[in-house]
Amino acid sequence: MFRTYQFRLYPTKKQQEKIHFTLERCRLLYNRLLQERICAYQGEQKNLTYYEQKKTLPDRKKAIPELKQVYSQVLQQVVEKLDKTYRAFFQRVQNKQKGGFPRYKGENRYRSFTYPQSGYTLEGKCLQLSKIGSIRIRMHRGIKGVIKICTIMQKNGKYYTCFSCQVKPASQPKTGKQVGIDLGVKHLAVTSDEQFFSAPKHLRKSESHIKRLQRSIFKKKKGSKRRKKVVKVLARTHEKIANRRKDYAHKLSCLLVQAYDFIAFEDLSISNMVKNHQIAKNIVDAGWGQLVQYTTYKAESAGKRVVLVDPYQTSQRCSCCGEIVKKTLAERVHRCICGYEQDRDINAAINILHLAQQVAS
Ligand SMILES: [Zn+2]
């Protein structure tokens, strides 16, 4: 099993130059390899493979000495990246899905490179990268497992590294507890044992901040310096919010996996809430998908179980007697003729748990 961690890097001016040099060399190589694939196909109806292209790297280094300043596995990974893009394209064609042919990468359109096996080491507060140097890293959380892949990224003028780590599933102590979870707008998650979890307020606040920035961009002249400045601020704000949202989803999913052995969610892919456009925006904001995704992989590595169920009528059905009690979105309390009264979301969460237990048994 793999887990990915992202950390901020603080390269010096000189290291930044080397990172940009590497990105640019990778980009040019990527475009060149793409061009050769296209030419081979147009000329001889031949599909160049990953291995055929990889074999050309030593000759390229002889012809272009600059390539020697890039770690060789980083270059190999460019060949692989193109190959993956190609395969994904053909897969889409086969599945009759939409999606364009692999494209040339324009300047500033190539933002990451990867050390697939070696060339990197963590040494205290620094990440040692072959051909680049020892870069200061801020590790805001510990990592588990062995780093297998190390990617360097440049985003909005900041630098990051992504570690893909192989972790052995370490089982968490069993608690014997099962839970159903209703995902909502007012509360991100409501559990069948009557706990409420809300998305942090600052996420809401930043939403209005984003709207203000968008309006401000709209008013400024295209191509102007001031507009570019605001566009940059907007990108950073989006990034900040995305990071906070991720952080919250990580915390909550950790909590759930620690507390329960069996966790039931509604299946968002069949949930009618996603189809309802009015609250679709809030769904994105609340990060339901992220919560379910994180909980699923954490449960998997902890030896616990997540089950997704069809949410059909889970909010209408009485979790006590099974009767359908029709209610609008505004009605917050479930009141049944059987005498059962419960918060609407808790009632739904209990139904979700019951459905999952049926599926699992
Ligand atoms: Zn009832």
| pLDDT confidence of residue 159 | 96
CA of 358 from ligand 1 middle (Å) equals 19
Are residues 215 and 208 in contact, defined by beta-carbon separation less than 8 angstroms?
A: no
CA of 335 from ligand 1 middle (Å) equals 8
- CA-CA distance, 170 to 18, in Å (whole number)? 39
CA of 198 from ligand 1 middle (Å) equals 28
- Collapsing DSSP to helix, strand or coil, 210 comes out as helix
pLDDT tens-digit map of 255-268: 999 999 999 999 87
Distance of CA 354 to the CA centre of its chain: 30
Decide if pLDDT at 27 tops 60: yes
Higher pLDDT, 29 or 172: 29
| pLDDT confidence of residue 160 | 96
By annotation, the residues acting in catalysis are 182, 266, 345
Decide if pLDDT at 38 tops 80: yes
Least confident of 17-31, 283-297, 305-319: 283-297
| pLDDT confidence of residue 239 | 84
CA of 357 from ligand 1 middle (Å) equals 19
| DSSP secondary structure of 126-158 | EEEETTTEEEEEE-SS---SEEEEEEEEEETTE
| pLDDT confidence of residue 57 | 96
| pLDDT confidence of residue 341 | 95
CA of 262 from ligand 1 middle (Å) equals 25
Give the pLDDT band of residue 95 (cuts 50, 70, 90). confident
CA of 352 from ligand 1 middle (Å) equals 16
pLDDT tens-digit map of 120-140: 999 889 999 999 999 999 998
Least confident of 85-89, 165-169, 177-181, 284-288: 284-288
Decide if pLDDT at 26 tops 90: yes
pLDDT tens-digit map of 270-288: 665 554 545 555 555 557 8
Higher pLDDT, 142 or 150: 150
| pLDDT confidence of residue 58 | 95
Q: Which of 163-177, 215-229, 248-262, 268-282 has the highest mean pLDDT?
A: 248-262
CA of 25 from ligand 1 middle (Å) equals 67
CA of 62 from ligand 1 middle (Å) equals 78
- Collapsing DSSP to helix, strand or coil, 318 comes out as coil
CB atoms within 10 A of CB 196: 14
| pLDDT confidence of residue 273 | 58
Query: Containing H/E element for 305?
Result: strand 305-309
Give the pLDDT band of residue 91 (cuts 50, 70, 90). confident
Exposed, middle or buried: residue 130 (CB in 10 Å: 0-12, 13-18, 19+)?
middle
**pTM over cut 0.85:** no
- Collapsing DSSP to helix, strand or coil, 8 comes out as strand
